[in-house]
Each structure stands twice: as structure tokens, then as C-alpha cells.
Amino acid sequence: MTQNGVRAEARVAQSLVHLPLLWGIFHTVEWRCLHEDRRGEAIGEADVVVFHPHHGLIVFEIKAGAVQVQDGQWFYASGLAMKQSPFAQARRNRYALIDKLRQRLGRDAADALTVTHAVWFPDVLWKGSVPGTEAPSRAFLLDRAALTDPAPALLRIFREAAPNAQPWTRAQQHALKELLAPDCQQLVPLATHVDDAAHALHQATEQQVAVLRMLRSQPRLLVEGGAGTGKTVLAVALAREHAALGRSVLLTCFNKALAQALTALLADVPGVTVQPFHELARTQALAAGLAYEVPTDSREQGLFFNERSAELLLQAAETGSGARYDTVIVDEAADFAATWWVALEALGAPHFSWYCFYDRQQCLFQSTDQWEPPFTASPMVLDANLRNTRPIGEAAARMGRCAMPPTFRVDHGVPPTALQSSDFAQMAVQLRTLLRELLGNQGLRPEQIVVLSPYRRDNAASAWAAGLDACPTTDALAAPLPGLVRVGTVQGFKGLESDVVVLVGIDLRCMRHPANLYVGASRARAALYVLALADAGLAA
């Protein structure tokens, strides 16, 4: 490809990156298929494929610079004739993609989906119509004007190609990801069972793909990144890959709810054990015949979970009666104490692989200053925020006094809303009104909303919880449940995410623990509401 061609594709890519969440973009899609006479292979490459789960696919051919058309023949600005028109190239790539979809989905299912093609000239303003019968209308030819706001032009193509397009099912979307992005097909959001509005077809960033390739080649690796940078997604992808190689895999974390969500994501993968650390210690200790008795005294409980449980896990591992793992993966590793690393290492088989994903800014259960990773290595760093819109991500960073992410997958979105109250009783009224508004006028479903607080709602001081009577709720955090708003603590929801987060019960004490605010706010993908006491001095 010429430098002009590279620059033209880069301009289109820069334009498409600002599309809303539901859109999926695949760049430089290579395809292969047999010739019709079965002699040899045809190989081609689509410049960019644009996807929307409610509408379908557009296969684009991108042409740099000016072109000329004379008597149906297309010419470059230099006067050199093209071998075939840009529309013919796009059409060829479209049919190749359809053939691939037929192989994966079946002919009838694939043919029911909308797959069309178009051409984009990002360097020129096209005057006039489309030459000859190259395309149904001018809508299928995009030029420089479409770079500023491509969504209307893309939707116009879909409307003309198939005004009553069939939405793509999750299975069809998964098949598309496997087809167009096989190197990172497992890089999907952690959230489960939410509607298509929250299930954007995420592309892996170049940064994620680089880390995934490094993970494949290194037996031990540290991966550091802020909230929403895709650490958990990579951990799941890695667990799948190692299990597929016949390795026994342990994936552990601190949070029970996160472990439940990870278990659901990996339920179809044999050879992977998913357990939160303390449950791992309990099961291993009991299997080794050791007593695992949690004290009733709160201070003694803290010591037990921070120290004694790890000692029991180490003792159990040293008996040799438990499982040994070829691969150990730790998610949210900043929650792990130094003594826990010794116990985990004892569970590794000879020459086991070890991977840790962490964010020092999210240390809720360990001291940030004292925390250390299990081994010495230069971490791979993820710094592109793929979960939050920029307004939410920047608000979370300010609230948590954290470093601002340099880039966001989505630059635009609804600004966070901060509501102040004089006391928790008034906050309860605000919470009730807000939930009714979100579920009524705003048309959100209960399962799209999570209400989080640094304090449990059954805490005697949590008078704000009276506002939860506006809707049915559940304390189960791991996955959305139809018709129920999830309610829990910030600590209990760490590692998970939701379309909408209501961060409630914020008082002056919370301001002494900014990590809680950062973790809570950064759980929100699309909308964030913060309910704080006026004397807390917080503005989202």
C-alpha cells in the first residue's frame, strides 16, 4: 500500500473511532476462499468493515486522492487506469465475507443478515452522482464530508440497503468476531446477560493485542492498567488459551462476585479452576484434612483472612494432596497480601506459568505503599480506557485522585450527575426520585442499574437505603438479573461493571478513602450518578 493509502485509511479510522458504543470497526480484514473451480485460493483484503448489531455490515473500499471516471473506466489522478472500480473491489470483498458467514452460520441464516458494500474517498469532496450503475445511490459513496460525523452517513447506507434489517443474535455476533478478529476473539466485555445496547462489539486495541501476544510468549508477566483498560478480559482470554493447550489453569481473585462472573464466562472451558482466594484456601485446607474455622470476633476475623488463611493454604499445598496448576492467573492482584504469594506459588506445578493483572490505584484491601507483585519484572502497561466514556472516566479519576487515562475508546457521553443532600434521609428521597426517573421516563431496565455504596445498605447509619423502595432489588452482584436493580458495596463490586451506576451514601469519611470513590465511579459504562452529603465537598 502507498503512503497516501495508509494516510487515507488512517483518516477513516480516526473518524470511526468516535462512533457510539454499539458500533464495531474491523480494519484491514484479510480473507481467503476457494475459486469456484476449486483450483487454488482467492485472497483479498477489505480496508475496513463497519458493523452494527441492529443493522448489519458495510464492507468499505477506501481510495486515497482524487480519481477520474471516463466511459465507465476508473483512473487514478496520475492517469493510470485501475484494474477494477473501487465498487467492484468492495463488492468482491463483500461476497467473500458472505461466503465465510455462510460456512459458519449456514446459508439461510447468513443470507437473512444485511451485508452491503460502499466506497469511501476521504481526501476529496465528491461532486455529482455515482458513475453508471456502480451503486444503488449516492449514499453508498462517502467522501471527506463524512469524516466529521460518519454515523448519519452509515445509517443512511443501512436504510437504503435494508430498511427492515434483521438484528444479529449474540451467536451471530460471536461468529463475526471469530471470523474478523481471530487473534483476539475472546476480548469481549466481562458483563454478562445485558441487552444489545450494552453489548458493544468491542474490538481489541493494538495495545491489548500486543499484551496478549506477549502473554503467549512469556511464562511470567505482570500487566498493570487502570480501571476499564481490559485486564480482566485479557485474563479470561489467557485462561482459555492455556486450557486449550491442555494446561491446568487456576484463575483467582479477591472478590466473590468477580469470581462468580469469571466462572460463568469460563463455564464451557474444561481445565480451568476459578476461585476467590479465601475460598481456594478453604477448599484446599479441608481437602488436606486441616481445620478452616473463621473466628467470630471482627478483629480476629481480619487477622484470619489476611494471614491465617494463607498459612493454611500453604500447609495444604505442602501436603501434596491438592491440585497443582500449570498456569496461575491472578486478577485484581493489588488486593493480595505478600504472604498470599508464597501460598499461591506452592500450588504451581514445576515450571508453572504465572500472570498477574493489577491496578495500584484500586488497592482497597492492602496498603498501596506496601503492596508488591509476586515476582520482579517490568510490567506491560495498559492505559487506554475501554469501559467508561471519557466524561465518566475523567470524573472517576478526579474523585479518586488518580492519574488521568491518556485515551478513551469513547470520547463522548452523558456527563456524570452529582446530587447533594443535607443528610441521608434527604438522600433517600433523591435516590427514590432518581430510580423512578431512570426506570420510567428514561426507559432503562432495572438490570442495567447498579446502586453502590462504601457502606452496606443494612448498616444502621445507611438511612439512604429507604430510597430503594422505588424498585425491586437484589444483593446478587455477579450478573444482571431481569427486573432487579443490583445493590451492593463498592468493595463487593470491584472488578465488575454496569451500564448505569448510582454511587450513593458518600459522606466526609469516604473522602479519606479516594480509592473507594475511584473504584465505584469507574464501574459505570454509560451513565454515572453520585449522591453525596453537602459537607463531603464532592463534585463528580
Question: How many CA atoms are closer than 13 Å to the CA of 364, on its beta-carbon side?
Answer: 20
Tens of pLDDT along 475-520?
999 999 999 999 999 989 988 999 999 999 988 888 888 888 999 9
> Mean pLDDT of all residues in the chain?
84
- Strand order of the β-sheet with 473-474 is 417-421, 524-533, 498-506, 449-453, 485-489, 473-474
Q: What is the pLDDT of residue 272?
A: 95
- Residue 73, helix vs strand vs coil: strand
Helix ranges (DSSP H) in 337-389: 338-346
Q: What is the pLDDT of residue 189?
A: 30
Sequence letter at residue 364: L
Tens of pLDDT along 238-250?
898 899 889 999 9
- Residue 223, helix vs strand vs coil: strand
Rg, the chain, Cα only: 26
Would the pLDDT of 294 be above 70?
yes
- Cell 496461575 sits at which residue? 328
| pTM of the shown model | 0.60
What the block records as the C-alpha cell of 378 is 517490568
Lowest mean pLDDT among 68-72, 122-126, 208-212, 527-531: 208-212
Q: How confident is the model at residue 389 (pLDDT cuts 50, 70, 90)?
A: confident
212 vs 208: CA distance, rounded Å = 6
Contact 152, 132 (CB under 8 A): no
Question: How many CA atoms are closer than 13 Å to the CA of 323, on its beta-carbon side?
Answer: 16
170 vs 296, higher pLDDT: 296
- The DSSP annotation for 121-141 comes to -TTS---S--STTSSSSGGGE
Tens of pLDDT along 460-480?
778 999 999 989 999 999 999
Average pLDDT rounded to a whole number, residues 75-102: 87
Between the alpha carbon of residue 44 and those of residues 57, 76, 91, 99, 479, the distances in Å are 17, 20, 12, 13, 41
Handedness of CA 402, 404, 405, 406 (dihedral sign): negative
Q: What is the pLDDT of residue 130?
A: 84
Contact 90, 118 (CB under 8 A): yes
Helix, strand, coil share of the chain (percent; to 5): 40, 25, 35
Average pLDDT rounded to a whole number, residues 11-21: 75
Would the pLDDT of 411 be above 60?
yes
Contact 503, 464 (CB under 8 A): no
Average pLDDT rounded to a whole number, residues 229-246: 88
What the block records as the C-alpha cell of 1 is 500500500
